[in-house]
Amino acid sequence: MTLNALRQTAEAMVEPGQGILAMDESTPTIGKRLKAVGVENTEDNRIAYRTILLDTPGLGESISSAILYDETIRQSTAEGEPFPELVKRQGIIPGIKVDTGAKALALNAGEKVTEGLDGLRERLEEYVGFGAQFCKWRAVITIAEETPSRACIEANAHALARYAALCQEAGLVPIVEPEVLINGAHTIETSYAVTVETQRQVFEQLYRQGVQLEGMILKPSMVISGTECPQRSGVEQVAEATLRCLQQTVPAAVPGVAFLSGGQDDVQATQHLNAMNQMAAQRSLPWRLTFSYARALQNQVLETWRGDASKAEQASEALLHRAKLNALASLGKYAPEMEHAAQRGAR
């Protein structure tokens, strides 16, 4: 695939007023979320839940792309429609998570490196056959008293770059996700310093591996204080620090930045995105700023559904409402009072 084709896909993924639905939870992870609402982790229940997400009427108006899991891209709805075909019917671009998880980094206690490069070229070829047009790989960086180490940052940056190069070789747009975890007592200043260093290393490695920046999407953390920090940062502070971090680290050639929610609650994730886009409008920044949320889009869906087929339509409305609010935030047009119009906003 030519660079032009990769660029077109990447730009479509961050189309103004749209974001990315992350639904690439592994079977154990989705099992934990199902269990939390009293639903057994069976394949039939996973199919039913994924059908609610992907068959939500009008979802393609706010969601440009959906990140699937290996099981999902091979599954079909109860009626027999393959999920990749359902995604395309909604006008949404199908993608796939391709890493195999974060594992303990040797000789670096408490730190992880993401694995999955072995056999990736062959797996990418298979995913193209299923209709995938982009991929995602997540690295995790932990902030603590002695971490992150340079070894951890560099190992994960190198793996992200090698993954991205393989994706582009296969004609797939890579989502590059270096997540700086929100867990911990660190301040927003520490978060800023770690995120800047991580993203600088990532782009250095992307350059060394020959990755075409016009044909990729960055999925970073917001710069935010740790969940256990006694002085939590406010919305404007998070937005300002995050934009400053992007300006320090992200080349203008990257078409878009799709933020992860990283453990923020639904409303907080929307507020931060909205504030960033309002500030960005005054600064003529080169990238589109949007969302690639999982739990911050799905929380209310699960709470509403709880395995009850009669609640499927109501659960879809909850997803559509949350997606619309974040789509507005990606344009800087969200307002808090919209939170109280769930039923009207979902229709």
Residues 6+ apart with CB under 8 A from 28: none
* 88, containing H or E segment: helix 83-89
DSSP 223-264: ----TT-SSPPPHHHHHHHHHHHHHHH--TT--EEEE--TT-
Residues 6+ apart with CB under 8 A from 48: 78, 307, 309, 312
Q: Which residues are catalytic?
A: 177, 219
> What six digits make up the tokens of 99?
């890493």
Report the distance separating Cα 232 and Cα 216, nearest Å: 32
Q: How far is CA 227 from CA 182, 186, 219, in A?
A: 6, 8, 20
Pairing state of beta strands 256-259 and 288-293?
A: parallel
- Ramachandran region, residue 332 (left: φ > 0; alpha: ψ -120 to 50; beta: rest): left
Select from 9, 36, 30, 33 the least CA-distant residue to 20: 9
Contact, 34 vs 41, CB < 8 A? yes
Select from 61, 17, 10, 63 the least CA-distant residue to 256: 10
